[in-house]
Amino acid sequence: MKAHPAWRDAVIAAIAVIVVLAIPLFHRSPAFEDFVIRLSAMALFATSLNLLVGNTGMVSFGHGMFYGLGAYAFALTMQMTDLSLPVAAVLAVLFTTFAALCVGAICVRLSTDYFAFITLAVQMLFFSIIISWQSLTGGDQGLRGGIPRREIFGFELASQLHLYQFCTVVAVLGLLALRHITTSPFGQTLRMIRDNENRVSFLGVVLWQARLRAFTIAGAFAGLGGVLAALFVSGAYPELADWPNSGQAIFAVMLGGINSFLGPVLGAMILLALNDVVTRFTEYYGLVLGIVILAFAVGLRRGVLDFLRLAWPGRAR
Amino acid sequence: MDLTALGVCLTTSACVVTQATSGLIVGMLLFLVAAGVTLIFGVLKIVNFAHGTFYMLGGYVAYTTLNVTDSYALAVLSGTLATALFGVLFERFLISRVYGSNVLMQLLVCYAVVLIFDDVVKIVWGPEFHAMGMPPAFQVPPLFIAGGVVPPFYIALIGITALIAIVLSLGLSMTRIGKTVRAAAINPQMVSALGVNTTLLFAIVFAVGGGLAGLAGALAAPVRSLSPGMGFSVLIESFIVTVIGGMGSIAGALVAALLIGLVRGFGTIGFPQFTDGLIYIMMIIILLLRPQGLFGRRS
């Protein structure tokens, strides 16, 4: 893999932010702004999962837990304390990071299949705790009552445009940080672990430590995505931490391309766009989505960006 | 949490009998589904995430057959055969294309099938819940065993599933095809080199696995309601069973399924809100202490 100068990524990120922020100046479309807000949360969620799946070769079925945890931690902090939004968001992400560290400490020593199953089990345990701890979480109704005091540095996030700008900036900064981690020596180590864990181990890398670090970082960024999701729905729902949601992230990763950094973002875009377009025409969303997924899985046999990279080697990033 | 209620239940024979039979039902049905999952995994090393769909289709086909023919035996038979056929088609046209590729690619194909057939069921049978109702032969007053109420259908159900468990394990250990299947689980290349048609073998394994899930769906239809998406929870539970019992082990699947059934049966009294949680905790503990499962071989 070529070395990617950090400044090049930063320039691309800056251009992306400017373009996305400029769009509402020319054309206001609530549906589009909604789409970008949801995409920002899901892009962080899916890209953080790909740090595990594509980069390290750790297939986690329970990543939704940290997405849900970030959302609940943030929404509860906002509802129960007088802390300002940035402080609450940072606390929520820190809390999620700590939770990911604890869950990871239990899970990362297991080999591939068992790792997938234990992450699923831990997530489902977390989900049943949300459902049964009604006094705190509101049970299966979700956390209602909204998120109060949604302003940050004079921005009123209850306004859709401001939320749009806020989510765009946070998501792009988050993706940039993840990109930096992926291209760092630590990121290279993770890819080496994926390709041949025995040799990496001979080189003196402590496998479980590196894996635990990756798991914790991925959990942290999923938590950040959860914070954005909580802002969007103004609350938190158990579905955010349920296993179909983890499945969505896996599909985003697989559809977009597991070996390309922006693959999961593209995959998230495809899934969200499909959802928006198809539900407008038919109630049988699953039927259409299933056929599209089958076409990708059986036809391309890899994600879109990975496919493009194979078709035009050297061109796509 | 209500430990006193659990204590009271455990000391009353009526309550023990009622909860144990309902736990056994849950466990035995779960075993039929999980046996297919573990068989398919054992031989093909494919985690069949679409197995819940087989269960659902079995239930719906049986429902329609019963409405048309009024015969529950025919309904069960048609549900089983239809899903066995579905299993073969699924293996031939979809799964065989992703053999040897990434596990996530297999997951993707299976999940697509789940999505498609949940909607197909909605189109054919409608999105509402259906109740099959007790088959006429079993519309008789319940039995009383040690003070506990036990519907006769429950006894028939436990009997049939126990019989299947015996046939399955005997079939795997005594018959030629069963031995080939077990050999293929250990070394498919060698089996293929010895002249066994593994393509056919894999299709048979999917037919048996799918048929068992369809049978479970047909048998469960009178005691549970039918709805699109009903395969979801069964799928998760059958995975838990497979993991606890040991991937690839039929005996392990039986023990784990009964264990989960009993935890469900008695858990609803002691921890009505947290029965699912109990089962996940069980799975986590097993994975930590004995990742290969109770009866699994260490790889």
Interval A243-256 mean pLDDT: 88
The region of weakest confidence among A100-104, A310-314, B188-192 is A310-314
Which helix (H) or strand (E) is B150 found in, with range? strand B148-150
Whole-angstrom distance, CA of residue B249 vs CA of residue B227? 30
Cβ proximity of A67 and A45 under 8 Å? yes
B112 vs A contacts (CB less than 8 Å):
289-291, 293-294, 297
For A146-197, the pLDDT digits (tens) are 777 667 776 777 788 888 989 999 999 999 999 999 999 999 999 999 999 8
- CA distance readout (Å), A317 to A174, A261, A304, A309: 19, 8, 13, 8
CATH assignment of B3-289? Answer: 1.10.3470
Q: How close B48 comes to chain A (CA, Å)?
A: 13
Secondary structure element (H or E) that encloses residue A265, with its range: helix A263-281
**Contact residues for B64 (Cβ-Cβ < 8 A; gap 6+):** B125
What is the reported pLDDT for A257?
87
d(CA A310, CA A50): 19
In B, which residues are within 8 Å of A110 by CB distance? 287, 291
- Tell me the C-alpha distance between B261 and B60, whole Å: 23
Interface residues of A toward B, Cβ cutoff 8 Å, are 53, 59, 106, 110-114, 116-118, 120-122, 124-125, 128-129, 131-132, 243, 247, 250-251, 253-254, 258, 284-287, 289-291, 293-294, 296-298, 301-302
Provide the CA A117 distance to its chain's centre, in angstroms. Answer: 20
**Could B115 and A286 be called an inter-chain contact, meaning their C-beta atoms sit closer than 8 Å?**
yes
Task: Dig out the tokens for B32 from the structure.
Answer: 């039929």
Q: What is the dihedral of CA B151, B154, B156, B160, to 10 degrees?
A: 180
- Partner A, chain B 159-178, Cβ-Cβ below 8 Å: none
Residue of B nearest to A121 (CA): B280
How much of chain A exceeds pLDDT 90, in percent? 45
Q: Answer whether A261's CB lies under 8 Å from A111's CB.
A: no
Residue B140 to residue B150: CA distance in whole angstroms: 11
B246, closest residue in chain A (CA to CA): A114
Beta-strand pair B148-150/B143-145? antiparallel
Q: What is residue A224's predicted lDDT score, i.e. its pLDDT?
A: 96
Q: Domain segments of chain B: what residues?
A: 3-289
Q: Is B247–A113 a contact, with Cβ atoms under 8 angstroms apart? A: yes
Judge contact between B273 and B39, C-beta under 8 A.
Answer: no
Helix or strand holding residue A155 (H, E): strand A155-156
Q: Which amino acid is at A137?
A: T
Least CA distance to B232: which residue of chain A? A244
Distances (CA, A) of A112 to A56, B36, B177, B287: 11, 22, 31, 12
Say what the pLDDT of residue A3 is: 52
pLDDT of residue A4: 57
Chain B residues close to A111, C-beta within 8 Å: 291
Are the Cβ atoms of A132 and B113 closer than 8 angstroms?
Answer: no
C-alpha pair distances (Å), A136 with each of A65, A68, A144, B64, B218 = 17, 14, 11, 44, 40
- The β-bridge relationship of strands A151-152 and A155-156 is antiparallel
Write down the pLDDT at residue B299: 56
Strand pairing partners for A17? none
| Distance from C-alpha of B249 to C-alpha of B38, rounded to nearest angstrom | 6
- Give the mean pLDDT of B52-63: 95
Which residue in the set A106, A285, A302 is minimally distant from B288, CB to CB?
A106
CA distance B70 to chain A (A): 31
CB B8 within 8 A of CB B269: no
pLDDT of residue A317: 47
Indicate if the pLDDT at residue A108 is higher than 80.
yes
Confidence of residue B241 (pLDDT cuts 50, 70, 90): very high
Return the residue of B nearest to A301 by Cα. Answer: B105
A254 and A61 Cβ atoms separated by less than 8 Å: no
Element (H, E) at A156: strand A155-156
pLDDT in tens, A280-296: 888 888 888 889 888 88
For A209, residues 6+ apart whose C-beta sits below 8 A from its C-beta are: none
Q: Tell me how far apart the alpha carbons of residues B242 and B38 are, in angstroms, rounded to a whole number.
A: 6
Using only C-alpha atoms, what is the Rg of chain B? 19
State the average pLDDT for chain A: 88
* Nearest-neighbour CA in chain A from B147: distance (Å): 32
Res. B101: pLDDT tops 80: no
Answer whether A200's CB lies under 8 Å from A208's CB.
Answer: no
Lowest-pLDDT range of A106-110, B12-16, B56-60, B194-198: B12-16
Residue with tokens 């699947």: B253
Query: pLDDT confidence of B1, banded at 50, 70, 90?
Result: low
Are residues A163 and A274 in contact, defined by beta-carbon separation less than 8 angstroms?
no
Q: Nearest by CB to A125, from B109, B239, B281: name it.
A: B281
**Has residue A316 got a pLDDT over 50?**
no
Cβ separation B47–A113 shorter than 8 A: yes
Assess B94–A contact: CB distance below 8 Å, yes or no.
Answer: yes
pLDDT of residue A249: 92
| Average pLDDT of the segment spanning B95-100 | 83
Predicted local confidence at residue A156, as pLDDT: 74
Q: How far is CA A203 from CA A186, A187, A199, A207, A214, in A?
A: 14, 16, 6, 10, 18
Q: Verify whether the Cβ–Cβ distance B108 to A251 is below 8 Å.
A: yes
CA angle centred on B178, ends B172 and B184, rounded to 5°: 115
Encode burial over A105-133: b for 16+ CB neighbours within 10 A, e otherwise: eebbbbeebbbbbbbbbbbbbbbbbbbbe
Burial A10-25 (b: 16+ CB within 10 A, else e): eebbeeebeebeeebe
Greater pLDDT, A156 or A19:
A19
Rounded to an integer, the average pLDDT of B203-210 is 93
Option in B101, B240, B291 nearest A301 (CB): B101
The total of other beta-carbon atoms located within 10 Å of residue B229's CB is: 16
DSSP A241: G
Annotated domain spans of chain A: 6-242
Query: Helices in chain A by DSSP H: which ranges?
Result: 6-26, 30-50, 64-80, 85-107, 112-132, 134-137, 160-183, 185-195, 197-202, 207-233, 243-256, 263-281, 285-294, 304-311
- What would the two tokens of residue A311 be? 């078709």
Distant-in-sequence, close-in-space partners of B129: CB < 8 Å, separation ≥ 6? B225, B226, B227
- Residue A269 CA: distances (Å) to CA of A113, B201, B266: 28, 41, 45
